[in-house]
Amino acid sequence: MKTPLEWTLDHITVVAETLEDGVRAVKDQLGIDMPTGGKHPKMGTHNCLLALGDALFLEVIAIDPHAPAPTWPRWFNLDQFKGKPRLETWVLRSQDLQKSLAQAHPESGVATEITRDHLRWLISLAEDGAMPLEGAFPTLIEWPAGQDHPAAKMTDLGCRLRSLTIEHPKADEILTHVDAQMDMSQIMIKNGPVKKIQAEIETPDGLRHLA
């Protein structure tokens, strides 16, 4: 039986030191040029966005070198991020973020308002900007009620998510929180020696992998 706290996969996020690096990594793996996104003034970040359906998308995010640095830690642990771009986390949609946080990992943080252009939303954010279990545990998001999902207005290049696999030494801990809250048909959570997230995405040129 579905509950009011049921979560839905909202988007998957590639984190990069620069947006150009992240876009290039997606191009190398998916053969797709990421469409432009926007800027997040509160966080000093910018992104590119690709629809994976009417209510699901792929995001590439990085620090915006032209934006003033915030006086608080940036989200997605971007202040500490180093290395090659990678699929760093997954984001679940909730209709009531405040209530959902009571069901989430204790390090998920608090509901925080973010804006991009005309959009406003709430997202779970820890005080230090870090993500629970290095991003293997999902971030939670709440879009305003009564409006279309932002993915419906994003560029659609014919890409669709087929599966998402999350590996982590504490896979059981992730499952404890999410398994009863959402449809897991596209998602596999399993034990692994280190955190790793991989997506299978159907593209106009066939099935590709993004990690």
In this prediction, residues 137-161 reach a mean pLDDT of 95
- Chain mean pLDDT for the chain: 95
Beta-carbon contacts of 29 under 8 Å, excluding residues fewer than 6 positions away, are 208, 209, 210, 211
Per-residue pLDDT tens over the stretch 76-120: 999 999 999 999 999 999 999 999 999 999 999 999 999 998 889
In this prediction, residues 9-29 reach a mean pLDDT of 98
Beta-carbon contacts of 206 under 8 Å, excluding residues fewer than 6 positions away, are none
Per-residue pLDDT tens over the stretch 170-196: 999 999 999 989 999 999 999 999 999
In this prediction, residues 50-63 reach a mean pLDDT of 97
pLDDT band for position 200 (cuts 50, 70, 90): very high
For the chain, domains (ranges, CATH) are 8-210 (3.10.180)
pLDDT band for position 5 (cuts 50, 70, 90): low
Q: What is the pLDDT of residue 180?
A: 87
Q: In 10 A of CB 211, how many CB atoms?
A: 13
Task: From 111, 45, 39, 47, select the one nearest 73 (Cα to Cα).
Answer: 45
Higher pLDDT, residue 117 or 201? 201
In this prediction, residues 65-84 reach a mean pLDDT of 97
Higher pLDDT, residue 118 or 33? 33
Task: From 184, 124, 116, select the one nearest 150 (Cα to Cα).
Answer: 116
Q: In 10 A of CB 127, how many CB atoms?
A: 11
Q: What is the pLDDT of residue 94?
A: 96
Strand segments, DSSP code E, in 16-170 are 36-40, 45-53, 56-63, 86-93, 110-116, 119-125, 139-142, 160-167
- Could you tell me whether strands 45-53 and 56-63 are parallel, antiparallel, or unpaired per DSSP bridges? antiparallel
Q: What is the pLDDT of residue 205?
A: 96
